[in-house]
Structure 1
Amino acid sequence: MHVVLVEPEIHVNTGNVARTCVCTGTRLHLVHPLGFSIDARAVRRAGLDYWHQLDLHEWRDFPTLRQAYPSGRFIFVETVGQCRYDEITYRPDDFLVFGRETRGLPPELLAGECVVRIPMATDVRSLNLSNCVALVLYEALRQCGFPGLR
């Protein structure tokens, strides 16, 4: 499984996502520009002592990532998703794509793609990014039988 953060802005969220990725054996892809330094102490602290175990890949932009995995299935998580995140069937090699904390994913990335949403009240903007990643990732892993996890 792959988690993709497109232009994340908040180091603590990225650190929390990194820790979740380590605990689940998930590869983390960070798409630049980042809103912080990857060497920031707070990122490492949020990832605790797991940071060195993280399967981390950095990309200069999203098209470069996409070109590196031409047969990859990319599932975009955004509030405008056509269906709920639990209504699709996940595969072990899926890419779960999440956007910036303040603006989400650019509309041009979503055109013609599989876009899912997390249900929430209509009068709020969004959940915290690291919570969204954990929700969707664990549903995907559950459907796949939690491969490699005890």
Structure 2
Amino acid sequence: MLDIVLYEPEIPQNTGNIIRLCANTGFRLHLIEPLGFTWDDKKLRRSGLDYHEFADIKSTKPSRHFCKANNRSAYLP
């Protein structure tokens, strides 16, 4: 399974569209907090939150927790 990771996403419309993409393809979405919006954001709902129940979404605090939990190394340019 392919994982998509969004690091501190700020634009709810983009995140909503990626949620819809993950719901339709079966990819897992990881959101690294803090998010630049709330889950009840009107723009997020309009662009993809109706697919939220069909997507596998994980939310993680800092990126180092994501790397540890998923046995991955961090690449920071």
TM-score (normalised: structure 1) = 0.47
Query: 2:35 is paired with a residue of what secondary structure?
Result: coil
The corresponding residue for 2:65 is 64
Q: 1:42: how far off?
A: 1.8
The corresponding residue for 1:24 is 25
Q: How does 1:24-103 map to 2 (within 5 A)?
A: 24-47=25-48, 49-70=50-71, 72=72
Q: Distance in 2 between matches of 1:38 and 1:48?
A: 8
Q: 1:39: how far off?
A: 2.4
User: Which structure has greater helix proportion?
Assistant: 2
**Which amino acid counterpart does residue 20 of structure 1 have in structure 2?**
L
Asked if 1:4 corresponds to 2:5, the answer is yes
Q: Distance in 1 between matches of 2:20 and 2:27?
A: 10
Paired residues in the alignment total 76
Q: Distance in 2 between matches of 1:26 and 1:43?
A: 19
Runs of 4 or more consecutive aligned structure 1 residues displaced over 2 Å after TM superposition: none
Q: Which has the higher contact order (CA 8 A, sep 6+)?
A: 2
Q: Which runs of 5+ in 1 are unaligned?
A: 77-108, 111-150
Q: Is the 8 A contact 2:67 2:73 kept in 1?
A: no
Query: 1:38 is paired with a residue of what secondary structure?
Result: coil
Q: Which protein has the larger Cα radius of gyration, Structure 1 or Structure 2?
A: 1
**Which amino acid counterpart does residue 16 of structure 2 have in structure 1?**
G
Q: Which runs of 5+ in 2 are unaligned?
A: none
**Which amino acid counterpart does residue 69 of structure 2 have in structure 1?**
A
The corresponding residue for 2:15 is 14
CA RMSD of aligned residues (A): 1.8
Q: 1:49: how far off?
A: 2.8
Percent sequence identity is: 42
